[in-house]
Amino acid sequence: MEGEATSIGPLDITRVMAAIPHRYPMLLVDRVVELIPDRSITAIKAVTINEGFFQGHFPGRPIMPGVLIVEALAQAAGILAVESLGLAGSGKLVYFMSIDGVKFRKPVEPGVLLTLEAEFVQKRARVCKFAGKARIDGDLAAECEFTAMIADPPKA
């Protein structure tokens, strides 16, 4: 098929950490299943009871905070952007600019593999728009659109 992109993946945690600067406890992508440059990414977050936020959200009924689900989607999209634009190892950062149309459909509990799907809606050199979906066993848990800016890291 003409214009068919070559898939990359799986990418292990070392390659994930080479693409984005996040580290424990804020690194929310454990591996990339598939990355199609300039198109989409499918990644995994293994949600475990050992996550610090489960101590207070909520005692007796642990649920992953929605803002962290959106952050996990954004991190997956950041990996997609960095890999698609050839910026891995450059130190460039991907910052949120906007988050739109967020809908939470199903609670994310400990013990699940959260599948993170993000695709480009629009791609420019410095600003990208994405559509993201988080799934549990194929069922939609959350969805949103978000825009991010690619920028130089702050000067030390």
Given the residues 15, 22, 31, 57, the one annotated as active site: 57
Q: Which candidate, 37, 103, 123, 41, places its Cα nearest to that of 74? A: 41
Could you tell me the CA-to-CA distances from 118 to 70, 96, 102, 142 in Å, in that order?
A: 11, 14, 14, 12
Q: Which candidate, 67, 77, 99, 72, places its Cα nearest to that of 150? A: 77
Active-site annotation holds for 57: yes
Q: Which helix (H) or strand (E) holds 74?
A: helix 66-84
DSSP 137-150: TTEEEEEEEEEEEE
Catalytic residue positions? Answer: 57
